[in-house]
Structure 1
Amino acid sequence: MQDGKTRIPPVDVETCPDDLRETLEEQRKLWGAPLYPYLFYARHPPYLRAAKKMWAALQEEAARGLDTLRALVNRRVAWSNGCEYCQDAHAAKASRLGVSTDKIDALNDYARSPLFSEAERVALEYADAITETRCDVDDELFARLQRHYDDDTIAELTMIIAWQNASSRFNHAFRIPSQGFWTR
């Protein structure tokens, strides 16, 4: 991570409790470096532990087959919140799931792009409505969402969007940079 780009320095891994050092070491082995946000979450160890559990629940343990939609929604929310790190990470995830570069690039114009299904469009519009705090999720939008997704899937999608909003706003506030995961 480049010094001076973030608003505060990341935590020194050596000062972390053992369990968090192990988590950061696992990330280093998998990704080549600890994931940048975790170096800031680690400033408050209980938060990092909770974030790790929430991330696992929303990203790894979800059972509704939302992997591709999750990556697209997360990328869209990250873009709306100006989070460079999350945009990169979720574009990489979408790409690994087989989403084309053209479709990832078209997220900013999803409403008019022929690359998105009606179900994807309504989910992305829902994400926009939740993310834009001056907006409301009106009954008409929610009814369109219900035409494509059952109640449990809507609940999961809502939590995915809410968590991504929290994560990307946290990262953006500290100006946590991209880690270069997505290569076109």
Structure 2
Amino acid sequence: MKKTQPWVQPLSQLPLSLKPIVAMQQKHYGDVLNPTRWWGRMPRLFWLVALFVGYLERKKARLEPTLRALLMTRVSQQCECAFCIDANSLRLAQRCGAMEKVQALSDWQTSTLFTPAERAALDYADAMTATPPCVDDAMKGALHCHFNDEQITEMTALVAFQNLSARFNSALEIPSQGLCAMKGQNDA
């Protein structure tokens, strides 16, 4: 018998308006993602958040998919969000085609796996995630060596979104679902 967490809202109590998301998650992950069971208490807020991340992850986004996953995973690490680390690490591994960058990300400053553009973006994400944010002019200059103003704006929105998501999930102690662990086992 599956142990029920006190925060888990039964699927039968999720609003019908979330049925498309629930169906997509069950098809893609084999289960409803843990945050959906909490965010689902406020479906309008859930849809606003889903639309925001959907826009940032669109096919014609200004940032390439691997960089987006890299930034989202790094912010998740900085916020110590178990669920976000898990889900975003899976996304990063899928987009990279391997686990090497996922495993090196917590020590990105000393790893040789990251490009200069990725390093500038990771430095920016770390600075934005600090409380209070500590972005300086040198950091902005380094970003401009690799990214245009529209890309930096989108990057800033992506990092800000991931901070919202990771801090929400971390504050509510929403647990990991073992998504990335499954990826690692499948690759072995």
Kindly indicate whether the alpha-carbon contact (under 8 Å) linking 1:68 and 1:99 is maintained by their aligned counterparts in 2: no
Kindly indicate whether the alpha-carbon contact (under 8 Å) linking 2:17 and 2:43 is maintained by their aligned counterparts in 1: no
Kindly indicate whether the alpha-carbon contact (under 8 Å) linking 2:63 and 2:151 is maintained by their aligned counterparts in 1: no
Kindly indicate whether the alpha-carbon contact (under 8 Å) linking 2:63 and 2:155 is maintained by their aligned counterparts in 1: no
Kindly indicate whether the alpha-carbon contact (under 8 Å) linking 1:14 and 1:21 is maintained by their aligned counterparts in 2: no
Report the aligned-residue RMSD.
1.7
Spell out the pairing of 1:47-66 with structure 2 (5 A cutoff).
47-66=45-64
Could you say what secondary structure the match of 1:112 adopts? coil
Could you say what secondary structure the match of 1:60 adopts? coil
| TM value normalised by structure 2 | 0.89
Could you say what secondary structure the match of 2:31 adopts? coil
- 1:147 is aligned to 145
Spell out the pairing of 1:3-152 with structure 2 (5 A cutoff).
3-4=4-5, 8-152=6-150
Q: In 2, distance between residues paired with 1:16 and 1:101?
A: 34
**Aligned residues with identical type, % of pairs:** 35
Q: In 2, distance between residues paired with 1:60 and 1:105?
A: 26
Q: In 2, distance between residues paired with 1:114 and 1:59?
A: 27
AA of the residue aligned to 1:97: R
Q: In 1, distance between residues paired with 2:60 and 2:175?
A: 27
AA of the residue aligned to 1:3: T
Deviates more, 1:54-63 or 1:144-153: 54-63
User: How many positions carry a matched residue from both structures?
Assistant: 181
Q: Deviations over 1:129-168 (max 9, x none)?
A: 0000134211111011111100000011101100000000
Q: Deviations over 1:101-151 (max 9, x none)?
A: 222111111112111111101100000000001342111110111111000
Q: In 2, distance between residues paired with 1:52 and 1:109?
A: 30
Q: CA deviation at 1:11?
A: 2.1
Q: Which of 138, 154, 159 does residue 157 from structure 2 map onto?
A: 159
Structure 2 segments unaligned to the other structure (5+ residues): none
| TM value normalised by structure 1 | 0.91
